[in-house]
Amino acid sequence: MKMKLREVYSALKITAENIPDVQITGVCFDSRKAKTGDLFFPLKGDRDGHEFIESAINNGASASIWQKDHQITNKAIPYVVVDDVMTAFNTLAKYYLSKVNPKVVAVTGSNGKTTTKDMIASVLAVNNNVAKTPKNFNNDIGVPFTILNMPINTEVLVIEMGMDRPGQIEKLSTIATPDVSVITMIGEAHIEFFGTRDKIADAKMEITHHLQEDGMFIYDGDEPLLNERAQNVQQKISTFGRNDSNTIFATEVHSDKQQTTFKTNLWPEIEFSIPIMGDYNVNNAMAALLVGQRYHIKVENMQKALSELYVTENRTEWLKAKNGADVLSDVYNSNPTAASEVLDNLKKLSTGRKIVVLGDMLELGDASKRLHESLADHIDPKDFEKVYLVGNEMKALYDLLVQKYDPTNLSWYSSDQLVQLTENIKEEMNSDDTILLKASHGIHLENVLKELI
């Protein structure tokens, strides 16, 4: 980002005299991360962001937004007084997006959106200056933040869009107005707030509502809910999946601990390789290939980009425990589709003893008990020698697995027993074991992971 403070006033349609000659090179909303050149937005969270303006000043912020119903108490830096901080945040993001004018690729889905975002960015970076959503900054704050912090020379912006309520992606799409919209899949994530997969599909389709007229919609063509709704999309459509009715479909899929390889109908002689486990990641890669094809990336370059992929941490990441055991970390997020897929892929690996540590899958509402119980179909003593379950919701799965497992190989813990869980895993873990850790972030299995590695 690069603009004078007077340009910020202009973008927000605020008239003022004697505007200080201050250069703005970025925005921030976390006062602890403020630096010289930053415009601080005191967004409201659990606490009013205005309480942290002093901290932002001390850390180097060059200017700050200030909501007019708050009294200015520190005039050490210039302030831009606005009616509403969040509205100003979105307005400035739309202005800056229009100024830089990159192509925008927006990605959503119940599972795989962060990995797909990383894959798309990797493929497009072959021929373009690409910026992308950092980490999982995919919500009402994360999307405008991503836009406002993209470099001025960005040619393609890859934005991840998450949701936990109807209308959220509609709002984000209004800001981003994508040139390409991608839906990875429809699962049960956030079903607590939507009730049915049909309503989840409706909410995900909001990503097409502000798609450019000459844009493209790319989605999982094996999903009937999306095929039905795609009939109302006027823009060009491409699909990916396993059925041969899709624009691109996979053949010859092979996966091991370190990589997954596959071929496709579009380039039958070319084998693609992605450096992550799980044949479910092939769909994500095919979505990236369709985006790359849309932007005329040569297939050989896309092949190389996927093979050199760097994936956002804590998403199906292989690590080493202190004693040498292999740890498959997926501690940031979990839902029934993702959990069952990683379990099914892990059991295929030719390794030593396999151990799984599963924590609650959150935001499943009234369907939570049934969906946790559904994982029992994917867990068997012949595949996983030891199973550790964590959280109140996982008790339902435990009650089913006791019918399969010897009591010495099945354990359940409440979410406040992570220290005990960690100690028990350490006592049982051998150097040649393979251990999966997967849970919603609210269970904080990252604390267990930290102690293991």
Is 88 a member of any domain?
no
Asked whether 221 and 246 are in contact (CB, 8 A), the reply is: yes
Is 89 a member of any domain?
no
Based on the domain organization, do 212 and 135 belong to the same domain? Answer: yes
pTM: 0.89
Is 312 a member of any domain?
no
Is 28 a member of any domain?
yes
Based on the domain organization, do 62 and 132 belong to the same domain? Answer: no
What pLDDT is attached to residue 313?
Answer: 59
Q: What CATH number does residue 132 fall under?
A: 3.40.1190.10
Is 341 a member of any domain?
yes
CA-to-CA dists, residue 309 to 122, 125, 275, 299, 422, angstroms: 6, 11, 7, 15, 31
Rg (CA), the chain: 24
**In what helix (H) or strand (E) does residue 426 lie, and over which residues does it extend?**
helix 418-428
User: How far, in Å, CA of 363 to CA of 398, rounded?
Assistant: 19
What pLDDT is attached to residue 10?
Answer: 97
CA-to-CA dists, residue 50 to 65, 73, 86, 180, angstroms: 9, 10, 13, 37
Q: What CATH number does residue 378 fall under?
A: 3.90.190.20
Q: Is 108 annotated as a binding residue?
A: no
Q: Is 167 annotated as a binding residue?
A: no
User: How far, in Å, CA of 234 to CA of 181, rounded?
Assistant: 13
> Among 34, 51, 83, where does a domain finish?
83
Is 345 a member of any domain?
yes
Based on the domain organization, do 336 and 430 belong to the same domain? Answer: yes
Q: Is 111 annotated as a binding residue?
A: yes
Based on the domain organization, do 245 and 181 belong to the same domain? Answer: yes
Task: Give how many domains the chain has, as a whole number.
Answer: 3
CA-to-CA dists, residue 105 to 157, 221, 280, 293, 328, angstroms: 6, 19, 21, 13, 29
Based on the domain organization, do 195 and 278 belong to the same domain? Answer: yes
Based on the domain organization, do 331 and 263 belong to the same domain? Answer: no
Based on the domain organization, do 192 and 302 belong to the same domain? Answer: yes
Per-residue pLDDT of the chain (453 residues; tens, 9 = 90+): 889 999 999 999 999 999 999 999 999 999 999 999 999 999 998 999 999 999 999 999 999 999 999 988 888 999 999 999 999 999 999 999 999 999 999 999 988 899 999 999 999 999 999 999 998 899 999 999 999 999 999 999 999 999 988 899 999 999 999 999 999 999 887 777 788 999 999 999 999 999 999 999 999 999 999 999 999 999 999 999 999 999 999 999 998 888 999 999 999 999 999 998 888 899 999 999 999 999 999 999 999 999 999 877 556 788 999 999 999 998 988 999 989 999 999 998 877 899 999 999 998 988 999 999 999 999 999 999 999 999 999 999 999 999 999 999 999 999 999 999 999 999 999 999 999 999 999 999 999 999 999
Q: Is 114 annotated as a binding residue?
A: yes
What pLDDT is attached to residue 156?
Answer: 98
Domain that holds residue 167: 102-307
Based on the domain organization, do 227 and 344 belong to the same domain? Answer: no
Q: Is 115 annotated as a binding residue?
A: yes
Q: Is 113 annotated as a binding residue?
A: yes
Q: Is 127 annotated as a binding residue?
A: no
**Which residues share a beta bridge with 413?**
390
Based on the domain organization, do 223 and 335 belong to the same domain? Answer: no
Asked whether 126 and 297 are in contact (CB, 8 A), the reply is: yes
Based on the domain organization, do 274 and 327 belong to the same domain? Answer: no
> Among 282, 307, 332, where does a domain finish?
307
Is 95 a member of any domain?
no
Based on the domain organization, do 353 and 435 belong to the same domain? Answer: yes
Q: What CATH number does residue 28 fall under?
A: 3.40.1390.10
Based on the domain organization, do 288 and 356 belong to the same domain? Answer: no
